[in-house]
Structure 1
Amino acid sequence: MPFKPILTARQEDGESIPLLLWRLPAPMRGISSGPLGGGIGDREWVINATVPMSYARNDPQEHLTELAGGMALDGPGVGLLTGVDVTERVAATDGAVEVWATVGLGRPILAAAAHEIPRQQTHTPGTINIVAFVPVRLSDAALVNAVMTITEAKAQALWELGLAATGTATDAVTVLCPQDGPAEAYGGPLSKWGAHAARAVHRAVKEGGARPKIPWSER
């Protein structure tokens, strides 16, 4: 996998806490729902950082900015947080689409069920974080479409794992592709690259969800 992340660690509150870092060989076009670098635009790096399950900060964007600064990451990037030990990441490929997933299922939900909405939005650890690299340029519409497809594939994997859930409340998806070349118009499950992404995500989430989970803070 040419975009294989680096497993590193950061020092925080006297602890060495694991973190995944992708330093992209060249800026890429991307879409993300992450707390840092969300939206559509050019991105130069991605981090997926473990946090304790007791995590209670309500400023994940600022926290991730601090982490990026501590690693001397310049330019725009994406930052993700998870209560899962990121050393347990799962990788999958399909048709040159590369996917990494950290799969935390401690707080699964059904998206359309009735929920009590917290007055103050906080980042709750648990979380399924998915990072996908597509080897061809996608139009902005196709990037949005790819996020939909990836989310549907994740939900399918959870259903096959026997969970009555569509995900967790803090799941995040990041999709990156080259900046140059003819733009693919579609990223749905019947498009070439959407189908590859769906199969890779389904495999990664299903494998990760089937593994026993020990939160990093309990190790």
Structure 2
Amino acid sequence: MRYYLRGETLLIRGAFLAASSGVGGGLAEVTTLLNHTVPHGYRAAEPERTLSLLAASHGLSDRFFGLMTAVPMRHLVVLRYDFLTIFITAGVTHPTPEGPGTINIIVTSSEGFTPAALLGAFITVTEAKVQALRDLGRTFTGTTTDAIIVASEGEAVHRYAGPASPAGERIMSAIRKGVSVALDRHDGRVPADEPAFFIYSRFNGGAWIEWSKKNCPYYPCHFEGQRCDFCYCPLYPCGDETLGDWVESSSGGKVWACTNCTLNHEPEVVRHLKKNPEASLSELKALRKKK
């Protein structure tokens, strides 16, 4: 899975089995997930056509699921919890048909879900969203245009995604955190000039940690002059054993460890990846060899 922003569009690329409640949604194998910001007052009669033209403008096939929102992408919140990466944009200015307000949630998993688990995750996401709104003192359960995508890659290893399952427990935690943060950013309680990135850390009992490249206390974690645009690697987990290896996880199973990898900190690699977000791993490694 690879994700990146182009203007006011979030693009998530991969080979997904996905379920979507958005425009043209359903259950399908898709290669792209989109969340696109439309102007306030958007009233297109054919939203499917809007998304199809958007996909075509990015050179994408018609195998995609898409969502639309009036929330600017600078308010996007990305959360990573083990094998899950979750994307949230949220606004609840007026949770009725008369006013703007949409909570869009995209859940992606690098571990496969069965179709039943994908649909079960919808229930878990919705429960977590309602709890997040309750945590904020909101009396409503969502807006009239909320939408969800749940997508996974690889052979199915998760049969269930209820809140007591390994996948569902992580989804519950991420959504409750992410919806709260996304609304704080959209409503101006927290300044937001670029997307936020949170990762769940098990240090000191476990907590959500926001990463920022500004004034990082760990710089330089590898070498002077490194680029930190991708402190949390967009290639993770690459599985290339020349760059990292699989180690025992504290929660059981295996986790990809790349502590000593410097690939996404090499200035020439970072420059190329930002201009070409779908560049292959071999392409990026070749750039480093030319150094």
RMSD, matched Cα: 1.9
Q: Secondary structure of 2:159's partner?
A: coil
Tell me, yes or no, if the aligned pair for 2:52 and 2:62 is still in contact at 8 Å: no
Aligned to 1:78: 65
1:103 to 90, 102, 110: 90
Alignment deviations for residues 17-65 of structure 1 (CA, whole Å, 9 cap, x no partner): x1111122xx1111111103x1111110111111112111121111111
Bigger RCO of structures 1 and 2 (CA < 8 A, at least 6 apart):
1
Q: Which amino acid aligns with 1:42?
A: E
For normalisation by structure 1, the TM-score amounts to 0.80
Q: What TM-score do the two structures reach when normalised by structure 2?
A: 0.61
- Aligned positions of 1:3-152 closer than 5 A: 3=2, 5-9=3-7, 18-24=8-14, 27-36=15-24, 38-108=25-95, 125-152=100-127
The whole-number CA distance in structure 1 between the counterparts of 2:83 and 2:114 is: 18
1:176, 1:31 → 2: CA distance?
6
SS in 2 for 1:133: strand
| Contact 1:23–1:46 (Cα < 8 Å) also in 2 | yes
- Letter of the 2:9 partner, please give it: L
Residue in structure 2 matching 1:190, options 164, 175, 188: 164
List gaps (5 residues or longer) in structure 1: 10-17, 110-115, 119-123, 215-219
Give the secondary structure class of the aligned counterpart of 2:74: helix
Q: Mark the CA change 1:125 to 1:62 in structure 2 (over 3 Å): closer, same or farther.
A: farther
The equivalent residue for 2:138 is 163
CA drift of 1:194 comes to: 1.0
Which SS does the other structure have where 1:55 is aligned? Answer: coil
In structure 2, stretches of 5+ residues that fail to align are 189-291
Query: Structure 1: how far apart are the matches of 2:187 and 2:180?
Result: 13
* Identical pairs, percent: 33
Q: 1:51 to 1:75 in 2, by over 3 A?
A: closer
The alpha carbon displacement at 1:75 in A equals 4.2
* Counterpart among 141, 149, 174 of residue 200 in structure 1: 174
Q: Residue 49 and residue 136 in structure 1: after superposition, are their counterparts in 2 closer, same or farther (change >3 A)?
A: same
Rg larger in 1 or in 2?
A: 2
Distance apart, 1:108 and its partner CA: 2.2
Report the Cα offset of residue 125 of structure 1. Answer: 4.8
* Corresponding letter in the other structure for 2:11: L
CA apart distance, 1:182: 4.1
Query: How far is 1:127 from its partner?
Result: 0.8
Question: Is the partner of 1:167 in helix, strand or coil?
Answer: coil
Q: How many residue pairs are counted as aligned between the two chains?
A: 188
Conserved in 2, the CA contact under 8 Å of 1:53 and 1:126?
no
Q: 4+ residue stretches of structure 1 with deviation over 3 A? A: none
Do the aligned residues in 2 keep the contact of 1:90 with 1:208 (CA within 8 Å)?
A: yes
* d(CA) in 2 for partners of 1:195, 1:135: 16
Asked whether the 8 Å contact 1:132–1:175 carries over to 2, the reply is yes
Conservation of the 8 A alpha-carbon contact between 1:157 and 1:205: yes
**1:67 Cα deviation from its structure 2 partner:** 0.8
